[in-house]
Amino acid sequence: MLTTPASESAAREWFDRMNAELQSLNHEASQYAWDLSIQDPEEPHGESTVDGLVQLAQRKARWLEQVCAEGSHYRQYGWPYDRAYYLLCRGSRNSRQELREMARLFSFVQRIYTETEICLPAKHRCSAMLLWSDTFVRYPEHATARLDLTSVAPLPAEVLRKRSSEREMRPRELACFHGEPDLERIMLGEDRVGPQVCHGAISEETVLQWAWESWRMAVGPPMRQPYGRLIELMNAGCLRGANQRDVGECWREELEIPDLRQLVDRLWQDVKPFYQKLHAVVRHFVRRKHPESASLVGDDGLIPAHLLGGMWSHSWTGYARSILPHPVDIDRRFHRANWTAIDLVRRAEDLYASLGLERMSETFWNRSVIGNEAVVKCHGTAANMYAPSDYRMIVCPPKDDGATLQDYYVTVHEMGHIVYYMEAGKQPTIFQDGTSAAFQEAFGDAMFLAAVTPQHLVRLSLLDSKHMAPEIDEYDGFGGIADHSTLNSFDYAFLLRIALTKVPTIPFEYLMDVYRWDLFDGSVDYDQDPNRYFWYLLEGEQGIRAPSVAPRDALFDAGAGFHLSDNTPFVRYFLASFLSYQIYEGLCKGSLYGTVRENPINEIPMPLHRCDLYGSKKAGKLLRKALAPGASVHWTTVLEQLTGEADISAASMLKYYAPLIDFLDRFIDEHQLVVGWTD
């Protein structure tokens, strides 16, 4: 279609004005989010903060209505107008009244998550009975009450009777614990908080069950009713805006994958056999480590959730040393290195800079929160402030104990977001985010795989170079090692350690959105069955069960997770779990051969986990070309540039862990373990 110069000029004027106004709105929103993240936990959210967020949401809604109405006339002129219009004008449209109600409800559930504390008397005398009967909950605004045990009873009836006869009073001094990071550290088996819970003799299993159960009993019930109302409001906005049937469809649209539900189901089925093998081996060691709870791991094969690691049974690293002991414990090496928060950030920056990517700006160093400051969430964060060179990070490892491998992962991951923001920073505002949220999450995870190659661990003085060499004697690790010429015992212990951290998160990421999608579209009756359905999914797909057999219908266990209160879709993390391995393999090929295209002569000549990217300007050039367009191009274009493929696949992940999968197969055969479970 022929166009007049005047029409094209009007389209350009609309595009430039839209970008300038969007930058201002985004900057304001980023500033609110940053201020909320770093505020003193003792200071309650003021009404002015909530009102400011409501007013901003209402102003942006009015602005979107106007600018999208204008922009619809210019889509006919092609790129960049049609791409900009699509990105800007998709999604929900809530009324001003709905936006105000949503802001207040989300503020409420977020405060329940971030500010609620589980408390014990400061001079608590320890026993299983007293641990429960002396538990208090401190809610926002410091309202304190005894924990309500009536919704679920993990205790004998006599404990509940004793408790009901006590006067409802609280001690003057309480030792209190936030869910994140305090109770999470207990669940991960870290000793920084656990000793404060009990000064007497008490089993580890009892403390784990107390931390797991008390958090859910405290935060789930107050969230349940407001979250139901939030579903109604979000659905109304999606139906009105993009004519989507529910907010699940709105969320899925953002990823630009028409058959997204089918894709995630297929990816999960591709990796589930690997997960089930890990599950079978870990279950074997759960029975060994917790013999008093062996009966809880019944004939169905489901593992009690509190015995695996992490508040969501998503980190099984505590079993690594039992399954495959090795003289080199990489977690202890990190601990002994005594890295500070600034050390973490400097080493992450060095990794990215070695590829020829930009170093962090002066504004980054001046305005980031690097260290264990008084941060409410203490949640690793990367922020694009939509101002020149203003990118910020929150990194807060434990103050007194030195950094951990997990802290290093968080730092490398969050810096990946910032590097992506910087590479796309020359684009118009509408295109400055990544090509999709999944790619934003995947890039930092791919770089973490490069950050923990054995070669790079040697470079960081965390591993002796002798552990790079093949071992003369066959490593007798439950059946020996298949490939003596290339790998050694450290390779297997290392791959197991990484797998026990990353693979158990995959079904959790999968289920959190399958669960919410089914609530959003009405497949599950929210008023009747939200918690029953939640455990139906966790038992069937994750292979875990609640610690007790008491009914949980009155609870809302999904509310105990950060991303539900933060209203963040989880499928982006699920897809990133696969994309990160694909990107890493593509960068390896690009580093070695200058191309990612598949052909017989450019196969990677070493196990994938040993491909070291440090200092590779070829990999850096490949990244800059792929990241610089930001959201101006479809994600399939970026994936092809980085991997030579246009489809998200589990193949690279399974290739990365191939030696470990072989080890698991031999271990399972030797010990005649049953793989899988029945829910």
- For the stretch 529-581, pLDDT in tens is 899 999 999 999 999 999 988 888 889 999 998 889 989 999 999 999 999 99
In a domain, 455, yes or no: yes
On whether both 189 and 262 belong to a single domain, the answer is: no
Q: Which domain holds residue 181?
A: 113-223
Q: How confident is the model at residue 197 (pLDDT cuts 50, 70, 90)?
A: low
On whether both 448 and 586 belong to a single domain, the answer is: yes
Residue range 231-242: average pLDDT? 89
User: How many structural domains compose the chain?
Assistant: 3
497, 499, 502, 504: CA torsion to nearest 10: -110
On whether both 31 and 162 belong to a single domain, the answer is: no
Cα separations in angstroms, 63 against 56, 59, 68, 93, 390: 10, 6, 8, 11, 25
Which pLDDT score, from 0 to 100, does residue 514 have? 97
Q: How confident is the model at residue 242 (pLDDT cuts 50, 70, 90)?
A: low
On whether both 433 and 568 belong to a single domain, the answer is: yes
Residue 11 predicted with pLDDT over 50: yes
* 563 assigned to active site: yes
On whether both 71 and 129 belong to a single domain, the answer is: no
Q: How confident is the model at residue 3 (pLDDT cuts 50, 70, 90)?
A: very low
In a domain, 657, yes or no: yes
Length of the chain: 679
Asked if 317 contacts 331 with a C-beta cutoff of 8 angstroms, the reply is yes
Residue range 222-243: average pLDDT? 90
* 73 assigned to active site: no
Q: How confident is the model at residue 2 (pLDDT cuts 50, 70, 90)?
A: very low
Q: Two tokens at 68?
A: 């999208």
Asked if 491 contacts 454 with a C-beta cutoff of 8 angstroms, the reply is yes
Which pLDDT score, from 0 to 100, does residue 322 have? 94
Which pLDDT score, from 0 to 100, does residue 167 have? 43
Instruction: Please provide the average confidence, as pLDDT, over all residues in the chain.
Output: 87
Which pLDDT score, from 0 to 100, does residue 133 have? 79
256 annotated as a binding-site residue = no
In a domain, 500, yes or no: yes
Which pLDDT score, from 0 to 100, does residue 482 have? 47
Which pLDDT score, from 0 to 100, does residue 166 have? 45
Q: How confident is the model at residue 96 (pLDDT cuts 50, 70, 90)?
A: confident
- How many other C-beta atoms lie within 10 A of the C-beta of residue 673? 16
On whether both 85 and 121 belong to a single domain, the answer is: no
In a domain, 585, yes or no: yes
Task: Give the residue, 402 or 676, on which the prediction is more confident.
Answer: 676
> Percent of the chain scored above 90 by pLDDT?
63
Q: How confident is the model at residue 227 (pLDDT cuts 50, 70, 90)?
A: very high
The Cα–Cα gap between 380 and 434 comes to: 19
On whether both 126 and 204 belong to a single domain, the answer is: yes
- Per DSSP bridges, beta strands 143-146 and 381-384 are unpaired
Q: How confident is the model at residue 85 (pLDDT cuts 50, 70, 90)?
A: very high
On whether both 83 and 130 belong to a single domain, the answer is: no
On whether both 541 and 439 belong to a single domain, the answer is: yes
On whether both 592 and 667 belong to a single domain, the answer is: yes
Given the residues 98, 115, 180, 414, select the one marked as catalytic.
414
In a domain, 286, yes or no: yes
Which pLDDT score, from 0 to 100, does residue 86 have? 94
Q: How confident is the model at residue 21 (pLDDT cuts 50, 70, 90)?
A: very high
Given the residues 73, 379, 563, 634, select the one marked as catalytic.
563
Asked if 450 contacts 351 with a C-beta cutoff of 8 angstroms, the reply is yes
Residue range 144-173: average pLDDT? 59
Which string of b and e fits 151-185 if b means at least 16 CB within 10 Å?
bbebbeeebeeebeeeeeeeeeebbbbbbbbbbbb
Radius of gyration of the chain from Cα atoms? 26
Q: How confident is the model at residue 621 (pLDDT cuts 50, 70, 90)?
A: very high
In a domain, 107, yes or no: no
> Percent of the chain scored above 70 by pLDDT?
86
Q: How confident is the model at residue 653 (pLDDT cuts 50, 70, 90)?
A: very high
In a domain, 606, yes or no: yes
The Cα–Cα gap between 49 and 378 comes to: 20
572 annotated as a binding-site residue = yes
640 annotated as a binding-site residue = no
On whether both 462 and 574 belong to a single domain, the answer is: yes
Which pLDDT score, from 0 to 100, does residue 580 have? 98
- How many other C-beta atoms lie within 10 A of the C-beta of residue 650? 20
Which pLDDT score, from 0 to 100, does residue 563 have? 85
In a domain, 381, yes or no: no
The Cα–Cα gap between 399 and 341 comes to: 9
484 annotated as a binding-site residue = no
On whether both 282 and 137 belong to a single domain, the answer is: no
Residue 129 predicted with pLDDT over 80: no
Q: How confident is the model at residue 240 (pLDDT cuts 50, 70, 90)?
A: confident
